[in-house]
Amino acid sequence: MAVYRIDGCQWNCYPGTTVLINKLGIKDQNELDAVEKQITLLRGIQAEQQMEFKNVDFDFYKGLHSLLFGDLYDWAGCLRTINISKKGTVFCDHSQLENVGTKKFERLEKLGFLCGMQEGSFFDELAELYHDMNMLHPFREGNGRTLRLFITLLVRNTGRDIDFAKCGSDIMMIAAVKAAEGDISVLRTVLSDIIT
């Protein structure tokens, strides 16, 4: 689980812990992390192989989160109702999530979901979208995995391929932090290095 600063940090956690209440009744964080990793990996592979990239909007995005985390959490696919921050980065206020998320997907649709774009424009728009969705951080947990799955589906829909395994989590974290500080160039470079 990501380490967030959360308004009411024990929201939706077992009493006296920061372990999220889950459908499996797991109360040990290390065990929950391991099970969560296995389940979301399996669900992500299934989505990559079987999901059609159609009717793509903010509800589609929420559906990806539900698919990844629905075996574990009752709130999978639901927007967070608390404010969160991580390592000094403050994410979108929870009261604005639906509005901002809907607008991001409306813009993406107007851009034709990045299909047919020249390489330079494609990477500019993709890096901006990645950054915007990361700053939205619409869910209580699982934002990075949902974002990577969505970006994978989006990129493949343009006729390209992406392999996040070629990029270490540390460099992606650095790129995301730099983007939050106003420098999106590192994120653009990281994404261009893992897309063929």
Dump pLDDT digits (tens) for 142-172. Answer: 999 999 999 999 999 999 999 999 998 889 9
Q: Are 149 and 183 within 8 A, CB to CB?
A: no
Count of structural domains, the chain = 1
Q: ∠ CA 147-89-172 to the nearest 5 degrees?
A: 45
Average pLDDT, the chain: 93
Give the predicted TM-score (pTM) of the model.
0.92
Q: Which domain holds residue 63?
A: 5-193
Q: Write the DSSP symbol of residue 196.
A: -
Domain holding 165: CATH number? 1.10.3290.10
Question: At 115, which amino acid appears?
Answer: C
Dump pLDDT digits (tens) for 81-119. Answer: 999 998 788 999 999 999 999 999 999 999 999 999 999
Percentage helix, strand, coil, to 5, in the chain? 55, 5, 40
